[in-house]
Structures are given as C-alpha cells and as structure tokens.
Amino acid sequence: MANLERANLERMRLGLPDLGVGVGLRIPHYRHIFEHRPRVDWFEIISENFMVDGGMPIANLERALASYRLVQHGVSLSIGSTDPLDFDHLRRLKALLRKVGSPWVSDHLCWSGAHGVHLHDLLPLPYTDEAVRHVAARARAVQDFLEVRLALENVSSYLTFTSSRMSEWAFLSAVVEEADCGILLDVNNVYVSSHNHGFDPGAYIDGVPHHRIVQIHLAGHTDQGKYILDTHSDHVADPVWALYRRALGHTGDVSTLIEWDDDLPAFEVLAAEAEKARAIREEVARARAA
C-alpha cells in the first residue's frame, strides 16, 4: 500500500496508528516473552491488572514496556450503567495511561453493575435512542477526563431486550458518532452474537463507521449447540477469519489483537495465530492496491 494511502487511512481512523498484529500479555507467557523477545508488534494489557502502586505487576509492566508497545484494554468501566461514573477508578486508569503511553484506551459497550453492585460480567444494553444518549454522554466524559481516545468494544450477547428499536450495529454506530470516540471491533463477538440472535454478521461489519475502527479483536469461541459462547479458549474459527477479511476490506490495515485467555496454549500457538492475521492483512492490502 502506498505511503500516502496509508497516511490517509490513519487520518480517517481518528489520527491513530496501525500498530500491526499483537497478542494479549498474560502471566503464563511472561517467562517466554522476557527471555526470548518473540516477534510481536505489540501487546494488549488488561488495565485493571496494573492499576496498583507497585510490586510485581508494575515490575513486569516495566519489563514489557522496555521492549514492546503496550495498549490498554479495560473490563470494568461499565459505560452503560446508571450508576455515576467511578472517578476514583478513572484517576487510577489515567495514572496508568501516563506510565504506559497507550495511544488509546478501550473498554466494553455494556453495563456491569448497578446500585453499587458489580456483577463481573459484560451485559448487553437495550438498543434505544435513550440508551444512545446516556452512553454517549458518559463516553464523552470519560474520554475528556482521560485525555486519550476511548474505543468501545461490541460485546458478545445471549439475550436481547424487547425494548430495542434498532440493530446492535446501528446502536454502536450512533453511540460512537455522538460521543466522537473509536470502535474496538471484536469480530468474534460479531459472529457469536449473529449466531445467537440470527442476524447477518456481514451486515454488521458493513454497517459500522469504518473510519472509527481503531482496533480489531480476534478470538476463539465454543459451540454449545443451541448457542455459541465467547470463551477465548481456542483458535480463531474460519468464519471469523472470513469476517476479518471483510472488515479489512473496509478499513485497510488496522491494529489487530489475538485474544486467548482460557485453556492458554504455549506462546508459539498464539504467535502462529498472529502470523495468520498478518498474512491476511497483507493479502487484503495487495487486493486493495491492485
């Protein structure tokens, strides 16, 4: 891809760079990573694991920062909750951002608790205009406070609300446009939810604002027969790779992350998945340049 075209695409993606292909930084792989310095463009960290004052988490974080670009991903923002935003959490998150230098910070388009009770799950929202306004206002406030671009990730879901008045991708699009924030497009979650709810995953990929996609997640899932569960415990499935190609056809190269959290294999297995993503990126880039 020509340098000018690449620069134009980066400007379209909210001025944020394409970091290449990364994997999640997980404790069982620390020894391999620190001893062998594998070829990985970047690592994603779970912000909450490092929002501490010191100790081994920070020591390991600093070792990783010495060799790799790190990007922060959160799991407890609960952007859709009706509880007030937790500014103690946001202050600690902002302090970590200053240490890490993450070019953006991501969390999930969901709610995780209410009335002071945290449910430790990523729960879907009703897709209504009221919810759009509520979430977008909170996302703008978070982004302004953190002083770094926020990217919201679509979650996998296993139920829907009868009050919903639009598709999930229309809801996601409306939220990020009103909040002026980015999208972390989890392609596996698109596939999982499409199977569970009977919608066309291609329509989802085609229907979101592609210039706002600053990162893509790829992961494995588990087929339970009547439904598919987002488990991050296996190789990326062929239909998800196909959707990834489709997404790249719209976006061009965009930072891509292999997620694998349960039944964690040897690091070489994750590296092979990352290389597969890299090959698909190159294949799509050649097709776009032709």
Q: Are 51 and 79 in contact (CB under 8 A)?
A: no
pLDDT, position 189:
98
pLDDT, position 12:
54
pLDDT, position 119:
80
CA atoms within 13 A on the CB side of 270: 32
Q: Other C-beta atoms within 10 Å of 270: how many?
A: 22
Domain parsing of the chain, residue ranges: 3-289
Q: How far is residue 208's CA from residue 187's CA, in Å, rounded to a whole number?
A: 12
Yes or no: domain 3-289 corresponds to CATH 3.20.20.150? yes
Which tokens is 228 given?
């598919």
Q: Which residues of 201-213 are buried (b: 16+ CB within 10 A; e: fewer)?
A: beebbeebbbebb
Alpha helices (H) along the chain: 3-12, 30-36, 56-65, 87-100, 129-146, 168-179, 187-197, 201-207, 238-251, 267-289
Q: How far is residue 270's CA from residue 99's CA, in Å, rounded to a whole number?
A: 26
pLDDT, position 277:
98
Q: What is the 8-class DSSP label of residue 236? A: P
Q: Are 191 and 239 in contact (CB under 8 A)?
A: yes
Q: Which residues contact 223 (CB under 8 A, 6 or more apart)?
A: none
SS3 46: strand
Q: How far is residue 231's CA from residue 285's CA, in Å, rounded to a whole number?
A: 30
Angle at 13 between CA 48 and CA 287, to 5 degrees: 115
- Taking the model in full, what pTM does it have? 0.94
**Local confidence pLDDT in tens for the 290 residues of the chain:** 344 444 454 445 799 999 999 999 999 999 999 999 999 999 999 999 999 999 999 999 999 999 999 999 999 999 999 999 999 999 999 999 999 999 999 999 999 988 888 888 899 999 999 999 999 999 999 999 999 999 999 999 999 999 999 999 999 999 999 999 999 999 999 999 999 999 999 999 999 999 999 999 999 999 999 999 999 999 999 999 999 999 999 999 999 999 999 999 999 999 999 999 999 999 999 999 98
